[in-house]
Amino acid sequence: MRSLSCFFAFIKALQNLDQVKDILQKIKEGDRKALSRAITLVENELPGAEELLLTLSNDVRPPLIGITGPPGAGKSTLINAMLNELTDTGNKVAVIAVDPTSPFNFGSLLGDRLRMSEHFTDPNIFIRSLASRGSLGGLSEKIIEVSDVICSADFDFVIVETVGVGQSEVEIAGLADITVVVVVPESGDEIQALKSGIMEIADIFVVNKADREGAEALVNNLKRMLHDFRGTKMEVPVISTIASEKKGIRELLEIIRENQYQVSDEKKIYLLAEKAYRIIRKNRMRDVSRPSLLKTIEKEHKSPGFSIYRLANQHLKE
């Protein structure tokens, strides 16, 4: 009986593999419906997802640009302006927008992406919203898998917009080839408070809404802080933009293109190691249930000699 079940599992795996090959071929040919289907497979861990991920190759990839920063900095408006400029010069661009999660259905609260609605019908632009699903760091639990699927398609640039949750957004540095940190003149005090995390992750700083009071002072402060924090060996560009008026966007994209070809082998190895670490950690935690832990602790926490370390150790041995 067991050998029979193994046989059927093998047949199912072959069917999944054929399905995956068909989807990947269509993705490379520019079939956006196939791309959406592949993303749904990996995001929801449906049959065929594992085979699809194992079939992906990292040989040729478009640059992955992370756009991060505090809420209200104008990240979506900035991306909107970038899309206009990029597509006007014939580029194909994908946007992964990570949104806050609904506490009721774990779906994306801003899934309609109304601020990018003008691009929905553009064949050179693909926009996908992902729910953060409670993940810290401003990203989604499935961001690595989804970004790899999208990078296997025929895009020239892939942009990831994070939720915007402050210092914990340093997680984007483990995913993006180029990390753009967007701030506004009112962010001055916040930048000072968060500088240890923010200064480390930024490849480019953007002071958006630069027509507001205090913008020039923030640009100068950032340059000084970056010099003090990183020294003179690694210059981080600080760009002023008014995204709503599309000002400064061309300069920003020129710097992104320059950085695109300057990603060191050291950083590439770091990015791959960080992605591998997160994938392994997530898979090892797959069977750990918070509701189950809650029930166990509720039942045992008043027992004599209760130890949270012994409880954790029991789960590690299972």
DSSP secondary structure string for all residues of the chain: -HHHHHHHHHHHHHHHHHHHHHHHHHHHTT-HHHHHHHHHHHHTT-TTHHHHHHH---SS-PPEEEEE-STTS-HHHHHHHHHHHHHHTT--EEEEEEEPBPTTT--BTTTT-GGGGGGTT-TTEEEEEEE-TT-GGGS-TTHHHHHHHHHTSS-SEEEEE----GGGGGGGGGT-SEEEEEE-GGGHHHHHHHHHHHHHH-SEEEE-STTSTTHHHHHHHHHHHHHHHH-SSS---EEE-BGGGTBSHHHHHHHHHHHHT---HHHHHHHHHHHHHHHHHHHHTTT--HHHHHHHHHHHTTSTT--HHHHHHHHHH-
If asked whether residues 39 and 162 sit together in one domain, one would say no
- The last residue of one of the domains, among 20, 38, 55, is 55
Single-letter residue type at 134: G
If asked whether residues 258 and 153 sit together in one domain, one would say yes
Residue 250 lies in a domain: yes
Across 13-27, 162-176, 200-214, 218-232, the highest mean pLDDT is recorded for 200-214
If asked whether residues 145 and 267 sit together in one domain, one would say yes
CB 157 within 8 A of CB 86: yes
Residue 44 lies in a domain: yes
pLDDT of residue 15: 56
If asked whether residues 47 and 64 sit together in one domain, one would say no
Cα–Cα dist 35/20, whole Å:
11
If asked whether residues 51 and 63 sit together in one domain, one would say no
Residue 284 lies in a domain: no
Cα–Cα dist 142/147, whole Å:
8
Range name among 68-82, 154-168, 215-229 with the lowest pLDDT average: 154-168
Residue 282 lies in a domain: no
Provide the terminal-to-terminal Cα distance of the chain, rounded to the nearest Å: 27
If asked whether residues 273 and 298 sit together in one domain, one would say no
Nearest Cα to 65, choosing from 154, 144, 146, 158? Answer: 158
Is the predicted pLDDT of residue 295 greater than 60, yes or no?
A: yes
Total number of domains in the chain: 3
Q: What angle do CA 130, 134, 135 make, to 5 degrees?
A: 75
Q: Is the dihedral of CA 117, 119, 122, 124 positive or negative?
A: negative
Cα–Cα dist 224/181, whole Å:
16
pLDDT of residue 208: 96
Cα–Cα dist 250/241, whole Å:
10
If asked whether residues 131 and 262 sit together in one domain, one would say yes
Residue 34 lies in a domain: yes
Q: Tell me what the pLDDT averaged over the chain comes to.
A: 79
pLDDT of residue 291: 84
Residue 264 lies in a domain: yes
Range name among 11-15, 30-34, 139-143, 202-206 with the lowest pLDDT average: 11-15
If asked whether residues 118 and 137 sit together in one domain, one would say yes
Q: What is the number of alpha carbons within 13 Å of residue 261 lying toward its C-beta? A: 5
Please, which pLDDT band fits residue 13 given cuts at 50, 70 and 90?
very low
pLDDT of residue 227: 76
If asked whether residues 35 and 141 sit together in one domain, one would say no
- The last residue of one of the domains, among 55, 81, 99, is 55
Residue 16 lies in a domain: yes
Overall average pLDDT of the 110-120 stretch = 59
Beta bridge partners of 122: none
Q: Cβ of 147: how many Cβ atoms within 10 Å?
A: 25
Residue span of the structural domain in which 300 resides:
289-317
pLDDT of residue 2: 47
If asked whether residues 103 and 152 sit together in one domain, one would say yes
pLDDT of residue 197: 61
239 class by beta-carbon count within 10 Å (0-12 exposed, 13-18 middle, 19+ buried): buried
CATH number at residue 108: 3.40.50.300
Residue 283 lies in a domain: no
If asked whether residues 192 and 229 sit together in one domain, one would say yes
Range name among 89-98, 172-181, 185-194 with the lowest pLDDT average: 185-194
- The last residue of one of the domains, among 55, 74, 89, is 55
Tokens read off for 215: 């913008």
pTM over 0.75: yes
If asked whether residues 301 and 240 sit together in one domain, one would say no
